[in-house]
């Protein structure tokens, strides 16, 4: 085994979204930058994101799109490097953009183009990137001294600045790791509680069977939890419920909480049912509802809510009974047993407590030269390109100061 020692201005741990943006920014300032990546490839989450098309930002980016113990923390970085800055770089590289609903910006062709763009920028600026590189330890002694292992070779690397860009716990097979929290704790930084976010729900009660039977069915709903409502698709899966509305609401859900599904977001179901009773009293309720909802879903609802009156025409339902069913349609309360957890979660809520970090530079307030960027921090975006925008904005901010 050999050992030697190398000196850089900046060492960045993690070659994901935030690390690569930070690296190119710092190198463009003339800093000597090394990025260390444990995986065999860089930017795995970028490649997998947005169904392979990478939802890289959103036209409407506000602090309200982010969740953090300190709701103001993200503002300075988002202003310093906005969605328009990233879109301008994408345009400079000739990448075609597809705008989808809610102003989400995707690649028209492939997420690979975003990664290629970042790597081209890094290469032009002279960034060194090492993959398959195991981080072993870091020490501070008027500079940072990292022990790493690549293949079987151990090395000590030295730098003035050390940037932790290792992301968070979600999807270990795509690089998810908790190393940022360990480094934060080593240097006395506090952590906020972490949990899986943008993640499907599971059920252990009767809903489990319903979801299995309806697996593959999607419909637009209003989904609410703890005062937050999202109007988006809901997808039944063989494990529970997923789809954009569910992922969004999962960021606001804690174990034991109920979620409320409005199956007809644009209709007052009580009034509609009472009116239908007067005008089309001979119909079965199932037939009426099947005009607005999938038959398979209506059959499940019938078993749950009016199985004893299944064969009765609408006219034989009391107004009270129809109002109760209407109320259920607009406010179906369900109690998920759990989320699918970090195995499938797109993000991790919580992380390095932003109280200990400068919102201008991403540097630790009590530890000169140590920076945290991206998802490792306690800043989590809604679904819609916000998590990448946070990675770009925080990476750029640090890149200017490292
Ligand atoms: C399936 C999926 C789809 C997504 N789609 C979108 C989307 O379309 N739009 C959006 O805005 N967000 C999306 N996200 C979220 C987004 O990918 C992340 O928020 C973002 O990548 C975070 O950037 P980051 O730089 O903090 O971390 P990452 O991009 O995760 O990068 C961290 C890097 O650090 C490396 N690393 C970890 N530990 C070590 C270590 N010990 N030593 C060295 N390297 C290490 C990892 O291998 C990884 O390369 C998606 C997430 C997932 C999982």
pLDDT digits (tens, 9 = 90+) for 134-175: 999 999 999 999 999 998 999 999 999 999 999 999 999 898
Binding site membership of 375 for ligand 1 (Cβ less than 6 Å): yes
CA of 46 to the centre of ligand 1 (A): 7
Cα(348) to centroid(ligand 1), Å: 10
Q: Are residues 189 and 222 in the same domain?
A: no
pTM for the predicted model, two decimal places: 0.95
CATH number at residue 288: 2.40.30.10
Query: Which of 287, 317, 339 is the C-terminal boundary of a domain?
Result: 339
Specify whether the backbone of 6 is left (phi greater than 0), alpha (psi in -120 to 50) or beta. Answer: beta
Nearest to 19 by CA among 39, 42, 41, 40: 42
Residue 318 resides in a domain: yes
**Do 322 and 360 have their domain in common?**
no
Region 3-17 average pLDDT: 86
The pLDDT value recorded for residue 154 is: 96
Q: Is the pLDDT of residue 198 over 60?
A: yes
Handedness of CA 326, 331, 335, 341 (dihedral sign): positive
The reply to whether 301 falls in a domain is: yes
> Which of 339, 365, 384 is the C-terminal boundary of a domain?
339
Q: How far is CA 216 from CA 230, 238, 243, 342, in A?
A: 20, 8, 10, 22
| Separation of CA 384 and ligand 1 centre (Å) | 15
pLDDT of residue 1: 41
Q: How confident is the model at residue 5 (pLDDT cuts 50, 70, 90)?
A: low
Distance CA 109, CA 93 (A): 13
Q: From CA 86, how far away is CA 319, in angstroms rounded?
A: 56
Nearest-angstrom CA–CA distance, 244 and 375:
20
Q: Across all residues in the chain, what is the average pLDDT? A: 97
127 shares its domain with 240: no
Question: CA 228 to CA 283: how far, in whole Å?
Answer: 36
Neighbours of 141 (CB within 10 A): 7
Which ligand 1 atom is nearest residue 17's CA? Answer: 25
Q: Which residues contact 350 (CB under 8 A, 6 or more apart)?
A: 191, 192, 193, 194, 195, 378, 380
Nearest CA to ligand 1 atom 17: 45
pLDDT (average), residues 303-309: 96
C-beta separation of 379 from 196 below 8 A: no
Both 19 and 164 in one domain: the answer is yes
Residues 116 and 250 in one domain: no
Ligand 1 centre to CA of 165 (Å) is: 9
Q: Is 150 found in the same domain as 9?
A: yes
- What per-residue confidence (pLDDT) applies to 382? 97
Residue 45 shares a structural domain with residue 190: yes
135 lines ligand 1 (CB under 6 A): yes
Shared domain for 48 and 161, answered yes or no, is yes
Q: For the chain, what percent of residues have pLDDT higher than 90?
A: 97
User: Is residue 10 over pLDDT 80?
Assistant: yes
Q: Is 197 in the pocket of ligand 1 (CB under 6 A)?
A: no
Q: Which whole number is the average pLDDT over 229-235?
A: 97
In this structure, the residue with its CA closest to atom 31 of ligand 1 is 16
Domain span at 261? 200-339
Residue 228 reports pLDDT greater than 50: yes
Classify residue 344: in a domain, yes or no: no
Centroid of ligand 1 to alpha carbon of 176 (angstroms): 7
């Amino acid at each position: 085994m050999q050992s030697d020692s190398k000196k850089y201005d900046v060492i960045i741990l993690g070659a994901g979204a935030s690390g690569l943006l930070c690296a190119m920014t710092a190198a463009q300032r003339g800093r000597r930058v090394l990025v260390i990546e444990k995986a065999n490839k860089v930017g795995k989450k970028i490649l997998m994101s947005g169904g392979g098309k990478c939802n890289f930002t959103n036209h409407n980016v506000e602090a309200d799109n982010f969740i953090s113990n300190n709701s103001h923390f993200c503002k300075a970085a988002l202003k310093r490097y906005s969605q328009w800055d990233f879109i301008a770089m994408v345009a400079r590289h000739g990448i075609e953009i597809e705008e989808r609903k809610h102003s989400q910006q995707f690649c028209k062709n492939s997420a690979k183009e975003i990664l290629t763009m970042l790597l081209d920028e890094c290469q032009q600026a002279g960034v060194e990137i090492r993959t398959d590189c195991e981080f072993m330890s870091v020490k501070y002694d008027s500079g940072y001294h990292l022990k790493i292992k690549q293949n079987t070779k151990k090395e000590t690397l030295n730098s003035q600045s050390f940037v932790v860009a290792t992301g968070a716990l979600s999807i270990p097979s795509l690089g998810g790791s908790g190393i940022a929290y360990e480094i934060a704790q080593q240097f006395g930084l506090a952590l906020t509680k972490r949990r899986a976010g943008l993640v499907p729900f599971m059920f252990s009660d009767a809903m489990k069977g319903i979801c299995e039977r309806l697996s593959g069915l999607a419909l637009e709903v209003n989904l609410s939890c703890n005062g937050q409502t999202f109007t988006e698709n809901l997808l039944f899966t063989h494990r529970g419920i997923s789809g954009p509305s569910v992922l969004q609401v999962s960021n606001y859900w804690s174990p034991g909480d109920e979620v409320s599904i409005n199956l007809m977001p644009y209709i007052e179901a009580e009034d509609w049912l009472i009116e239908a009773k007067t005008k089309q009293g001979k119909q079965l309720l199932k037939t009426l509802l099947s005009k607005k909802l999938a038959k398979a879903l209506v059959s499940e609802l019938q078993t749950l809510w009016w199985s004893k009156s299944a064969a009765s025409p609408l006219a034989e339902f009391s107004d009270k009974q129809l109002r109760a069913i209407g109320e259920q349609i607009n406010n179906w309360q369900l109690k998920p047993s759990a989320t699918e957890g970090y195995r499938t979660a797109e993000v991790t809520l919580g992380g390095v407590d932003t109280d200990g970090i400068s919102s201008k530079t991403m540097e630790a307030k009590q530890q000169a030269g140590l920076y945290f960027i991206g998802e490792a921090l306690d800043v989590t975006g809604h679904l819609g390109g916000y998590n990448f925008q946070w990675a770009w904005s925080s990476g750029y901010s640090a890149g200017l100061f490292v």
